[in-house]
Amino acid sequence: MPMSPRDYTWLFTPGSTFAYESGTTGVIHLAGGGELDLPTGRVVACDPFVYLGSGDIEPFTVSVPPGRYRVEAAVATLARPDEPPADEPPADEPHLRVAALRLVIRDDPTTAWELALRPDQDPAELKDDEFFGYGVDAGTGCFYDAAAEEAFPEAQEDEGPLWDAFEDGDWSGGPHLVTSPSTGHTLVAVTSGWGDGCYPTWIGRSASGEVTCFLTDFFVAPDPS
């Protein structure tokens, strides 16, 4: 069987806690990323510093009505056993990691999950615990509309608003809503958990089958015990 979805309601509940075998503990809070504009409703997810504008990443096969949709990240504050509890971070910089990024299409409860697929991906090809996801080579993940594919050419030149977003402020992990100065298109980007790897995006559906969200899991928080 391909990888099964996890309890993402728990992951996006502020105050959810978890622990690693090492004894390090974590607590979840939500960080808002504003509203992402989807003028075509065709959603793309990738590492923007590597793939944005390359034409190598196609939109997911499931689209949504054009519109503006809320984005939020589940961010974990981590603490080692010899540190204060994760819900009481030390006075200096806490250890933060983005655990997941969610694009909220509607606020109805999610009752079912399915892997977000691109046109060339067939879930029947997946073996036990395998999944389709996107590769990260620059420690970053994002969502954007297919219409924004060519909207950030300066990102390939190591400059522009996308680069600026991750260099400004004390906490640069995001989510960052970035606007193209030339076209007005937007994308939302975050640091990808522990860094490079391959991460699945899931589509949530309501009891009536409507899309509730797109959610990328960066494998920071283990399943609750």
Answer whether residue 225 is part of any domain: no
pLDDT, average across residues 147-166: 87
Residues with Cβ within 8 Å of 50's Cβ and at least 6 positions away in sequence, in order, are: 135, 136, 137, 138
pTM of the predicted structure, to 2 decimals = 0.92
Range of the domain at 211: 8-217
Answer whether residue 3 is part of any domain: no
Answer whether residue 1 is part of any domain: no
- Tell me: pLDDT of 85 over 80: no
Match 């003028």 to its residue by tokens. Answer: 39
Q: Per the structure, how many domains does the chain have?
A: 1
For residues 19 and 156, the model is more confident at 19
Answer whether residue 166 is part of any domain: yes
Q: What's the pLDDT score for residue 91?
A: 44
Ramachandran region of residue 173, left (φ > 0), alpha (ψ -120 to 50) or beta? alpha
pLDDT, average across residues 114-133: 94
Q: State what percent of residues in the chain have pLDDT above 70.
A: 92
Contact indicator for 53, 162 with CB cutoff of 8 Å? no
Q: What's the pLDDT score for residue 218?
A: 98
**198 - beta bridge partners?**
135
- Tell me: pLDDT of 130 over 60: yes
Answer whether residue 2 is part of any domain: no
Answer whether residue 38 is part of any domain: yes
Answer whether residue 222 is part of any domain: no
The model's pLDDT over 64-78, given as tens digits with 9 standing for 90+, comes to 999 999 999 999 999
Query: Quick count: other Cβ atoms within 10 Å of Cβ 99?
Result: 22
Q: What's the pLDDT score for residue 73?
A: 98
pLDDT, average across residues 161-171: 80
